[in-house]
């Protein structure tokens, strides 16, 4: 009988190029076992855009949107609403020419009275819609998030 060695490797130990292959190309999911630095390395190794926002200081929808806009280098005319967020994640970028793919990290989404579970889910729905937009174009758009 031949036995195969059991790998103790976690997603954190994976080769950066292999790391993203273990995740569906168009998904919004909890960051779980992944580390931000490794996701960034994987994005860079595979030539994809890496977008990162640390939302620990945000307590309202407006602050969350402002932090995302600043972190992702959105245009100054960004409307700071969910429709404008969707447009910046899809149409504006798509109009810029061919895209290699995206790895997005939303770290420490707030859980406050002014940014509750419903607000978090609505925000994540915008990113899910963006993932669907890019899936239709054959472009990877992976979003990883964590809660504060």
The pLDDT tens digits of the residues spanning 36-92 come to 999 999 999 999 999 999 999 999 999 999 999 999 999 988 999 999 999 999 988
> Is 4 a member of any domain?
no
> Is 80 a member of any domain?
yes
- Per-residue confidence band for 1, with pLDDT thresholds at 50, 70 and 90: very low
> Is 59 a member of any domain?
yes
Residue 45 structural domain = 32-147
> Is 121 a member of any domain?
yes
What's the CATH code of the domain at 78? 3.30.370.10
CA angle 121, 127, 128 (to 5 degrees): 80
Give me the number of domains the chain comprises: 1
This prediction has a pTM of 0.88
What are the Cα distances from residue 113, in Å, to 50, 66, 144?
30, 18, 23
The pLDDT tens digits of the residues spanning 115-128 come to 999 999 999 999 99
d(CA 79, CA 60) in angstroms, rounded, equals 16
Residue 130 is encoded by which pair of tokens?
């963006």
């Amino acid at each position: 009988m031949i036995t195969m060695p059991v790998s103790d490797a976690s997603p954190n130990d994976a080769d950066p190029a292999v790391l993203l292959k273990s995740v569906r190309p168009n998904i919004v999911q909890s960051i779980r076992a992944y580390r931000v630095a490794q996701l960034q390395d994987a994005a860079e190794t595979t030539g994809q855009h890496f977008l990162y926002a640390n939302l620990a200081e945000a307590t309202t929808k407006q602050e969350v949107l402002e932090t995302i806009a600043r972190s992702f280098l959105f245009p100054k005319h960004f409307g700071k609403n969910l429709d404008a967020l969707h447009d910046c994640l899809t149409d504006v970028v798509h109009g810029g020419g061919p895209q290699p793919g995206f790895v997005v990290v939303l770290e420490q989404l707030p859980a406050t009275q002014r940014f509750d579970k419903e607000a978090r889910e609505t925000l994540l729905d915008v990113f899910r819609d963006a993932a669907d937009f890019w899936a239709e174009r054959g472009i990877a758009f992976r979003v990883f998030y964590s809660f504060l």
